[in-house]
Amino acid sequence: MNDNKKQVVVIGGGEAWDTYEEYIEYLKNYEFTEDTIKKATSKRWKENLQDELGKKFQVIKPIMPSARNAKYDEWVIWFEKLFPFLNRNIILVGHSLGANFLAKYLMENIISFNITGLHLVAGCFGWKGGFDLSNSFVNIEKQCDNIFIYHSKDDDVVSFSEGLKYKKILPSAKFVKFEDRGHFLQENFPEIIKNIKDSTVLQ
């Protein structure tokens, strides 16, 4: 644990299925293309966060269990193993299923850390594998000083309407709408860098 640095915990996305048979069928039918190979080898904004935020921050990106066949209960176990290494003030960033995970976890749990920022990027609003959400988000707003929701209207993975659901259920959040970011797979994400830095200054 480094008490002198602002810690940013980043939870990435994944896939989830109702049954193991569905998962196997998905693997069998998945086709690699030039585009998927390009995506698999490109550097994305999550990998650049540490460099762009600078030395005052420590970015922690745990590899969540079985991301291709994610189970909420397994992710909880893994996520909580980080707690002994976290400072009192933390920033949480979730992308896609990772945003859904953080929303559900904070709905159901009161944690001892001060969450100075919660950033939900292209989050699905409830999913298979135990990632379902209720309509009670009160605990999230109680625990988080600053909440940001990011979604793009041309997201072809998680519908823009999912972002609007978060906006409705989290009225205190700042909703940041984009027209052309897709599922946020780009190399740079300057808006989230600015918001993380700005909310840190306000502490």
| Entry pTM | 0.93
Structure confidence at residue 26 (pLDDT): 95
Q: State pLDDT tens for residues 154-168.
A: 999 999 999 999 999
Give the pLDDT score at 1: 55
> How far apart are the C-alpha atoms of 101 and 108, rounded to whole Å?
11
Q: What is the pLDDT of residue 3?
A: 64
pLDDT digits (tens, 9 = 90+) for 169-180: 999 999 999 999
What is the count of structural domains for the chain? 1
- Provide the β-strand partners of residue 11: 94
> Which residue ranges of the chain lie beneath pLDDT 70?
1-3, 201-203
For residue 1, being part of any structural domain is answered with: no
**Is the distance from CB of 196 to CB of 117 less than 8 angstroms?**
yes
Residue 196 lies in a domain: yes
| DSSP string for 5-22 | SEEEEEE------SSHHH
- How far, in Å, CA of 161 to CA of 144, rounded? 23
- Which token pair is 9? 């915990």
Residue 170: domain span: 6-201
Q: Which of 80, 81, 92, 88 is nearest to 119 (CA)?
A: 92
Nearest CA to 74 among 44, 95, 97, 91?
A: 97
Question: With contact defined as beta carbons under 8 Å apart, do 133 and 99 qualify?
Answer: no
- Record the tokens describing residue 1, joined without a space: 């644990």
DSSP per position, 135-155: S--HHHHHHBS-EEEEEETT-
CATH number of domain containing 24: 3.40.50.1820
Pairing mode of beta strands 114-121, 6-11: unpaired
Residue 36, pLDDT score: 84
